[in-house]
Amino acid sequence: MENNTAKQRYKGFFITFEGPEGSGKSTQARKLAEFLTAKGREVLLTREPGGTPLAELLRKLVKNFEGEEVMHADTELLLIEAARVQHVQEKILPALQSGKVVICDRFADSTTAYQGGARGIDPDSIAFLNRLAMAQCVPDLTFLLDLPPNIGFARANERKETKGEHDRFEEEQLNFHLRVRNAFLAIAEREPSRMRLINADRDPDTIYQEIRAIADKLVR
């Protein structure tokens, strides 16, 4: 994600959480939101795909679609980017303009990793659509919760037994998730100033201490 000079037009601070299924994104995003709220910041905690009524409908389509018809990778990409346009324009941008801290559970890096790295769509198309959908909302800080896929699987499986919902991504094979992981790690190497690599194979509180310390220093 290239730096966008336009992003300085808003007063808020934009944090994203990225990483595979079961890496603890939602857990850590919630804890960080509580911490920053307690410090007196106004916080918008949100997620992708989704975050607005229309975007949540698109999320259901992308994650839970079933039937004879194949959902092509490009269709999946465009549905996710359409959801992102709605989310950025309706929620993220207004929140940043009003000075809030926005914490988003998955964002454009997930598209680079899943639709690019794992599904194999060419990086230029992904970068173009991400730029279009993000508009001037480029994350200031991204936590990459890194975890070997088998560990994330085990955590997600436990949850699936309680939720019982078909999920197109959780049903992918190990190789798919290895490509996701490698694509995330490649982004972290390309953009070390924005992205902080967090070892997610530790207990939740240890991970949280690390994340809180980083956010406490950087959030302005």
Ligand X SMILES: Nc1ncnc2c1ncn2[C@@H]1O[C@H](COP(=O)(O)OP(=O)(O)OP(=O)(O)O)[C@@H](O)[C@H]1O
Q: Does 142 bind ligand X (CB under 6 A)?
A: no
Which residue, 13 or 153, has its beta carbon nearer to ligand X?
153
**Binder among 26, 89, 97, 136 for Mg ion (CB under 5 A):** 26
**Which residues touch 91 (CB under 8 Å, ≥6 apart)?**
44, 46, 51, 52
Q: Does 23 bind ligand X (CB under 6 A)?
A: yes
Q: Tokens 């940043």 — which residue?
A: 96
Q: Which of ligand X, Mg ion, none does 55 bind, CB closer than 5 to 8 A by kind? A: none
Which residue, 93 or 198, has its beta carbon nearer to ligand X?
198
Report, in Å, the least distance between residue 209 CB and ligand X: 12
Binding mask 147-186 for ligand X (x = CB under 6 A): --------xx--x---------------------------
Report, in Å, the least distance between residue 17 CB and ligand X: 8
Q: Which of Mg ion, ligand X, none does 27 bind, CB closer than 5 to 8 A by kind? A: ligand X
Report, in Å, the least distance between residue 190 CB and Mg ion: 24
Q: Which of Mg ion, ligand X, none does 23 bind, CB closer than 5 to 8 A by kind? A: ligand X
Contact between 22 and 79 under an 8 Å Cβ cutoff? The reply is no
Q: Does 27 bind Mg ion (CB under 5 A)?
A: no
Q: Does 21 bind ligand X (CB under 6 A)?
A: yes
Which residues contribute to the site for ligand X (CB under 6 A)? 19, 21-27, 155-156, 159, 203-204, 207
